[in-house]
Amino acid sequence: MLLCDFHIHTKFSDGSLDLRKTIDIFGQTGFDVIAITDHVVNGDHPIGKFAHRFKLSVTAKNFGEYIENIRYEAQRAWDKYEMLVIPGVEISKNYISSDKSAHLLIIDIKEFIPACMSIESILIEAKNQGALTVACHPHHTPDRMNKDTLFLWNNREKYCRYIDAWEIANRDDFFSVVAHKKFPYIASSDFHRASHIFSWKTLLNCQKDVVSVKQCIKTNKGVAITLFRN
């Protein structure tokens, strides 16, 4: 099965390592498929304004450069490690209230999507681009203290038809409540620094190409999760 991680941050947002170093860590560890998913933060709230100011968010302005860098590194990763690298973002709608906050992975994104649009518009735009949508850390995370993102889970009946998969595990946290619902699932590291490589991961039984990977996750056939340890 393919060893995969679909939730990875670099210095393009708040990750501690640059893109190339990040890719080398995953390549050298033997991963088959990864997605780079730096934050795109909503600028319509002080938290987001702060993120923009301190360059902790991909923006409309540097999105082109971001994608170009990922595509370049993806070719290098394929030649060197036979590892598939897919460009993505983590739309990060941050508010004081956990009930309003939502984080959403858009994997295989082509055009910039602003995080200040409504969740519904974002999901529809992602679908129009043929991207995969994943609700991330959708339930309470004990070590994130007041930074829970519960909007998608609380409104799951309304939005589940647009959401291709749900993270049932993120780094060290397992969301059993989410796992009980029979939605398609993945598990990811939410990688921000090197030690995060040891965390929950997804295993896929499919071909190593973008179309097959997206299809495998959507249909949720041949998907497993594993707690990847040293």
For residue 93, state whether it binds Zn ion (rule: CB under 5 A).
no
**One-letter amino acid identity for 29?**
T
For residue 38, state whether it binds Zn ion (rule: CB under 5 A).
no
Residues 170-209 that bind Zn ion (CB under 5 A): 190
**CA distance readout (Å), 145 to 63, 74, 120, 149:** 30, 35, 27, 11
Instruction: Residue 219: count other Cβ atoms within 10 Å of its Cβ.
Output: 12
Distance, in Å, from the CA atom of 95 to the CA atom of 68, rounded to the nearest integer, reads 30
Distance, in Å, from the CA atom of 41 to the CA atom of 13, rounded to the nearest integer, reads 9
Contact 89, 60 (CB under 8 A): no
Q: Could you say which of 14, 18, 44, 125 contacts Zn ion (CB under 5 A)?
A: 14
Q: Could you say which of 35, 89, 94, 103 contacts Zn ion (CB under 5 A)?
A: 103
Q: Which stretch binds Zn ion (CB under 5 A): 12-20, 25-33, 44-52, 219-227?
A: 12-20
Q: Which stretch binds Zn ion (CB under 5 A): 14-22, 45-53, 138-146, 208-216?
A: 14-22
Q: Smaller CB distance to Zn ion: residue 10 or 206?
A: 10
Size of the site for Zn ion (CB under 5 A): 4
The per-residue DSSP string of 179-215 comes to HHS---EEEE--BSSGGGGSSEEEEE-S-SSHHHHHH
| Binding letters toward Zn ion, positions 48-87, x by CB under 5 A | ----------------------------------------
Point out which residues bind Zn ion (CB under 5 A).
Answer: 14, 90, 103, 190
